[in-house]
Amino acid sequence: MTTPPPPVFTPFNRDEVIRYLGPFWPPRNNRPSLTLPPDATGTDGEPFTTGAVAVWPVPGRPGQTWWAVDGSVPTQPAGAPDQALADMVPGSVLVVPPPDSPPFPPS
């Protein structure tokens, strides 16, 4: 079995990403998000916090791209982050905030 390639972090302008997320930003209570590893590095060689995260669940097949803002992949039009996505992004943590918590991450 072939190992999938590592995730690719491509930086984008924060305002553009928020515009793409539309009604999914800011994150809502009780919706999953994925906290990215603090050592994630973008394609530009800089620390990554906001842009696109590309993963390949099946080697050699088309991948998936998720929007990230401030080091977190929120629930978005493509769906909700899950443990399968967390497993493809080493060092990330899947978070489901309690229903009574403020929006996560704080905007």
What is this structure's pTM? 0.84
Residues constituting the chain: 107
* Confidence at 76, pLDDT banded by 50, 70, 90: very high
Per-residue pLDDT at 106: 53
- pLDDT tens-digit readout, 41-73: 998 889 999 999 999 988 888 899 999 999 999
